[in-house]
Amino acid sequence: MKKYPIIFLSVFLWKCTAPENTVTILDPVTAGQENGVRTGLDVLLEDYSDYLKGKTIGLVTNHTGISRKGEKNYKLFENNPDITLKRIFAPEHGFYGEASAGAKVEYDNQKDSGPEIVSLYGKTRKPTAEMLDGIDLVIYDIQDVGARFYTYISTLGIVMEAAGENGVNVMVLDRPNPLGGEIIEGAILDTAFKSFVGYYPIPTRYALTVGELSQMAVKEGWLSSVPPELIDRSDVIFHLAAAVGVKLIVEAPVHTIETNVHGTEVVLTHANKKKKLVIVASTSEVYGKSIEVPFREEADIRLGATWKHRWAYACSKALDEFLALAYWKERQLPVIVVRLFNTVGPRQTGQYGMVIPSFVRQALAGQPITVFGDGSQSRSFTYVGDVVGALIKLSAESRAIGQVYNIGNSHEITIRALAEKIKTMTNSSSEIVTIPYDQAYDAGFEDMPRRVPDLTKIHELIGYVPEVQLEEILSQVINYFKER
């Protein structure tokens, strides 16, 4: 994912770093009763003008980009001898506010001198690499309306994504939300209906300034870009993010597949630019319905039918593995794939069906401990600290590159026995209740009867032996929930 580092001032300076662009925000500041409120533009020019020295900038703006003195932003930049205003990007309605809603706008740029004006509501809505070439900083300065369907904020998001993809920093000059920040109204946009008039999953009246919205879009991962600076500063990239949990997988297979596959694609694309080592976290789920237990990395995998959404997660992570190893083979990007077996520890959420935190919470609350299926399915649980230690050791081992490794614990326990152990350790009076898979998930749901790793390969390479066993793991998790 693209990087969008952010700085909040009163100018939203978004420093573009591919997956994580760096964004700097300069927000409106109250300057005293006499002077009133300074916009981000005022704050930039009055307090942070040195930041612009020597920079070539692109300006996303329209007729609303004025200072508190009524001065046009582009004129202020043009007249500043320390900076070069190379290009102006105009949103819907045009640079001068001359076009009606939905009307396409283009500019001839017949001027012999001065910045080129490019419409982002004509032939393209997204700045191309050519348009951003030679630009050190993109500055966004438009007065927002405060309603989700007004497209100025959509243009902001698209510009940030383009900047992230091209390694250009972005600065957002913030301005007050004319509707205020106290009232939020309207339904939150369903991302399945994302469009140019609805670019973010926010309410119709969202009560944020454009700077605050930009920060939220970055932190929530709504944008699809990553900053090179972050890659540059990294020695190793641990790609652990994914859509996980059986409940989520069954209920939202599209989200699961798109999140996992696209997320990995973005990480590998940007890591490849600098040839940084990437450790890709896969899952024991990829072994699917295999009966060759314990699972060996070199063994064939066997998944269920494609119409059974339960296997969407396993398929998406298997595709992640294929893609990562293809990057190694074809483009010499150093990658290591690790298949994690039920990693657990304190602070883990049970939100998506993680069994140990779910059982512990139920037991401590005196609620029924719900076992899905008949409880005969078995799992092997691995302490998060053991996993982290293994990841660090693998990252320092060149022989691991281009390989797949299991990380887990070979101690096996049935889910029924796990429920009984947790009930005993918590002194709970909870009843253990079994719920048929058809009721818990979907009709025809298939589970993996056993999930036990063969740890020979990773042990021979780095001497991996899990140190924390199930009893201690459960003790830590129980104490964590007791103290909350």
Q: How many residues does the chain have?
A: 484
Q: Among 228, 250, 271, identify where a domain stops.
A: 228
Per-residue pLDDT band for 19 (boundaries 50, 70, 90) equals very low
Between 28 and 415, the higher pLDDT residue: 415
**Predicted local distance difference test score (pLDDT) of residue 78:** 94
In this structure, the answer to whether residues 170 and 141 fall within a common structural domain is yes
For position 479, which CATH number holds? Answer: 3.40.50.720
Q: What is the pLDDT of residues 113-135, one digit of tens each?
A: 679 999 999 999 999 999 999 99
Residues 262, 375 share a domain: yes
Nearest in space to 457 (alpha carbons), one of 307, 336, 304: 336
Residues 35 and 154 in one domain: yes
**pLDDT tens digits along 46-73:** 988 888 999 999 999 999 999 999 999 9
Q: Are residues 334 and 466 in the same domain?
A: yes
Q: Are 126 and 151 in contact (CB under 8 A)?
A: no
Q: Are residues 307 and 240 in the same domain?
A: yes
Gap between the Cα atoms of 301 and 283, Å rounded: 12
In whole angstroms, give the CA distance from residue 243 to residue 241. 7
Closest CA to 160 of 320, 53, 3, 284: 3
- Say yes or no: 214 and 245 in one domain: no
Is 444 found in the same domain as 365? Answer: yes
Query: pLDDT category, 413, cuts 50, 70, 90?
Result: very high
98 pLDDT above the threshold of 80:
yes
Residue 10 to residue 244: CA distance in whole angstroms: 38
CATH code: domain of residue 16: 3.40.50.12170
Whether residues 165 and 286 fall in one domain: no
Please tell me whether residues 433 and 294 are part of one structural domain: yes
With 0-12 / 13-18 / 19 or more C-beta atoms within 10 angstroms meaning exposed / middle / buried, residue 307 is exposed
pLDDT at position 7 over 50: no
Q: How many CA atoms lie within 13 A of 36 on its CB side?
A: 7
What is the dihedral angle through the alpha carbons of 375, 318, 456, 450, rounded to the nearest 10 degrees?
A: 10
The answer to whether 59 touches 115, Cβ cutoff 8 Å, is: yes
Q: Residues 286-338: pLDDT tens digits?
A: 999 998 999 999 999 899 889 888 888 999 999 999 999 999 999 999 999 99
pLDDT at residue 2 greater than cutoff 60:
no
Catalytic residues: 313
Q: Which pLDDT does position 29 carry in this prediction?
A: 56
Shared domain check, 301 and 271? yes
The pLDDT value given to residue 352: 67
DSSP secondary structure string, 303-354? ---TT-GGGHHHHHHHHHHHHHHHHHHHH---EEEEEE--EE-TT---TT--
Which residues have C-beta within 8 Å of that of residue 460, sequence separation ≥ 6?
Answer: none
Query: Quick one: 442 and 315 in the same domain?
Result: yes
Q: Which residues of 61-89 are buried (b: 16+ CB within 10 A; e: fewer)?
A: bbebbbbeeeeebbebbbeeeebbbbbbb
- Residue pLDDT, tens place only, 184-206: 999 999 888 889 999 999 999 99
Question: What value does the mean pLDDT of the chain take?
Answer: 88
pLDDT value at residue 51: 86
Number of domain units in the chain: 2
* Residue 18 binned pLDDT confidence (cut-offs 50, 70, 90): very low
pTM of the entire structure?
A: 0.59
∠ at Cα 309 (305, 313), nearest 5°? 100
Task: Report the largest interatomic distance among the alpha carbons of the chain, rounded to a whole angstrom.
Answer: 83
Domain boundary residue among 228, 261, 292?
228
What CA–CA distance (Å, rounded) separates 199 from 190? 10
Q: Please give the pLDDT value at position 327.
A: 97
**Cβ distance 151 to 196 under 8 Å?**
yes
Among residues 213, 228, 243, which one ends one of the domains? 228
Whole-angstrom distance, CA of residue 342 vs CA of residue 295 = 14
Note whether 376 and 464 are same-domain residues: yes
Residue 78, helix vs strand vs coil: helix
Structural domain of residue 35, as residue ranges?
4-228
